[in-house]
Structure 1
Amino acid sequence: MAPSRAKATTLPLLLAMIFGVLLCILAAPAQASSSSQPSPSADVDLICHTSNPDECYPRIFQPTDEFQTVREDQELPNGLHVRLNIWTGEKEAKINVPDEVDPSLEGLPVDQAVLVVDPQEPDAPPVPRGAPKYETVGKIKEPKPEYEAEPFFQAMKMLKSGDIDGGEVFDNALEGMEDLSHDIYYGLKITEDPAVLKGLFCLMADQGAPSADGITPRDQQAAAILAGALQNNPTALEKVINEWSKIMEFKCPQNDKPLSEGFYSSFMPSNTVTGDDAKQPAAKAKAKAGAINGLIKSDSIRAEFLKSAGMRNLLEVLVPEGKEWAAAQRKVGQLVLDTFLDEDMGAKLGQWPSTPRSTDVQCSTVEGQTNEGCWDYHVERIMKANKRDSGHWSKDLHDRLALARKNYKAPSGHQEL
């Protein structure tokens, strides 16, 4: 080949190679940039809750180097750095960088994978040394206006005034109050008003309160309201404790007797009922056991309850047979476990039982069946009736009660028969 022809062939090849190298160099930064901050392409599967395309977002979360909020219906790829914002409840994620240390967390104590941070209001001044302990319970915001609370406040007004003979109007108002009593805000509203509390306790103690067909009896409704207000609401219970002596001294309009004389009376109807006729008495007993369960979280009220033969009245609920009583009996069983026998559930052991076990002969008689020593007899009877259910509450109560009896020591001078 002639030298001139070889030079002409080599030059275009050399230019092509130089152009290719330059193209690779220019493409590398662009690729690095796109990998750190990807943006959805036309092929990305989107989620659209409205017809506005600007409000759509990728079904699979697109991470970047910064934390972004993860929507509830988005899917997360593996290997991301995910965290939960405890103030907003939102999940946030970004590209994971191994061994990355967040400078904002420097010096803060960490317990395993959980960051321990004392909450503090934005721009709040530091807490002075020796200041009283801050109680988070009770710092409750009023619910949003959309809550339908008119019946609740109508019931409050009628209970305060004593005008409780309003028939269906009052019954409907009580129903509205029960619906909201489980809310911490409304539970406090109920318990911070002594007149309302007295009205509710009088209703709960009045087994003869009138009730129309299809309407929840007022004593049951009042018990359910008190149970809801006290459930997981220690501030509400504190309000009741502060008024307790005055509540028990209060004379209810229906009989002009102090509440203390009727509050610890029987939960059961005076006549024996069975079958469908037992449904309403059983529902009443369950509601009243729920209210008692909330009240005896207080050490002082629990001591008074035990002294006033409260456990005998609870045992009456275990005596009837029939599926209509199952829910009420379970409520009573859980109350006894959580309050007196199961330390893992907060029970203070050694307070009850305070008597030895009675014999089966004693407990099988009408006169002796509700003696405190007969709890074992009735629990064992219920356990045998539900032997196919390995997780039935009666089995746990039977075993723990047997252990408590074993550890029971009779007071000095007491001679067991």
Structure 2
Amino acid sequence: MLCLLLFGGISFAKLICPDSNPLNCYPELFEPSVDWRPVKEGQIIPGGLDIRLNIDTLEREAKLTGDIQPNENGIVIVSEDTMGPNEEQNLSEALGYVSEFVNHGFGDSATLIKKLEYISDMSSDSDYGVDAMQHIQPLIRLSGLYGEEGLKEIREEDRDEIRELASIILASSLRNNAEAQRMFLQYFSNPMDFVDHLTAKIDNDVLLRRRLGILGPLTTAH
């Protein structure tokens, strides 16, 4: 199957409108170029792109890899092979690793971080966000929202990074994803208890912002 990403102001993607001003709407499907571009809230990132976290702005950015270039008409054709036919399998394996680490202590911190980084890159896709919500328990435990239980096997120097990554995954999985939001809320017998933990005062300002990023999608959940 071919995925056509159109440049020059034309796009077949659905629009995301963050407020009532139609001028602020943007395509749901991220439109890459050869330069780094910020990925806006709720955008789906096609497979086969380079993705990074801008340390200065704390925004995710993406661009075409060196092997993919727009043609003379400004059109990028991403083949099924480029999209990564094994992405779903890789995501399932990464989520399985996280669950085994939390539930049974199998693995190591360095590999866990790599798996969480991969899940973070994938979870803004609506289908993959739902997949992530099927592993909500280990992600909640790694976020540290309910204490250190899920972090016992992790080196102290890695704990903040892992907390932040787990929180980013939860937030990005829930954005503009009604099914993931429904699964998330059903997990808690008392959602307000979770909100209390989410907004509890912590010393790490970056982690606090990550946690508040989870709250935003929940305030709009139906």
Please give the TM-score of this superposition, normalised by the length of structure 2: 0.50
Structure having greater relative contact order (Cα 8 Å, sep ≥ 6): 2
Which one has the largest radius of gyration?
A: 1
As a proportion of its length, which structure holds more strand? 2
